[in-house]
Amino acid sequence: MIRTIFIFASLLLTSSLFGADAAPMINLSIAAVDEPAQFVKTINIAIILMLFVLAPTLLLMATSFTRLIIVFSLLRQAMGLQQSPPNQIIISLSLILTFFIMQPYGQKAWNEGIKPYMDEKITYEVAFEKGTEPFKDFMIKNTRESDLALFYRIKKEENPKNIEDVQLTLLMPAFVISELRTAFEIGFLVFLPFLVIDIIVASILMSLGMMMLPPVMISLPIKLIFFIIIDGWFVIIGNLAQSFK
């Protein structure tokens, strides 16, 4: 599902970059390059193909996708729903919200890094630095200092003097474990009201002597009504989007 969406989006990006009438032709034969521009186009195609492979990994390690999908999965378990909403809906909703949250950072990376490089105004090194800088800022804002210090200690590196000196290879795993911690903290808060409903329903059934009646049959519709009354999707999605710094 994720790979299909990224392949389709990458094809649209490729057509927009090269133009509908000047789509790149991929030739795998070995031949001498007559003009430097041909070599630049070849490098661009190789970069795009590399992004096809790395897109799912980058989605998990450098965006808000991890926190969103974990919270939605914990929400489904807290409500006692096994397959509703289905996994396809949860993944699609997480992807849409990820694009919504990361759109300013992606737009900045495109304007300052990718587009000037495609126009041959800057070198590849400058384009990589400018293109990753917005995502680096996003990860630093949502990464705990203790998690980042952990990987610096593991690799036995000196602590960075400022934000610009933070290594991307150490920032990404620190960002992931920070997102996991934050997601489980939010999931715990989501679990609490539904856990209270389960406890109340189970206590009432036991006091009435109805031990053979599964508490889930009574608590599930109550939790659904409770979630509808508080407008649960509005509350959770709104707070999730605002939880990113």
What would the pLDDT profile of 79-126 be if each residue is shown by its tens digit?
888 788 888 999 999 999 998 998 888 888 888 887 887 777 777 778
User: Worst-scoring range by mean pLDDT, 3-7, 126-130, 241-245?
Assistant: 3-7
Count of residues in the chain: 245
Task: Decide: 74 and 191 in contact? Cβ < 8 Å.
Answer: yes
Residue 214 DSSP label: -
What confidence tier does 70 reach under pLDDT thresholds 50, 70, 90?
very high
User: DSSP string covering 103-166, please?
Assistant: HHHHHHHIIIIIHHHHTTSS-HHHHHHHHHHHHHHHHHHTS-HHHHHHHHHHHTPPPPSSGGG-
What confidence tier does 51 reach under pLDDT thresholds 50, 70, 90?
low
Task: Decide: 197 and 80 in contact? Cβ < 8 Å.
Answer: no
Which two three-digit tokens encode residue 204? 């009432």
Residue 23 DSSP label: P
Supply the pTM of this predicted model.
0.74
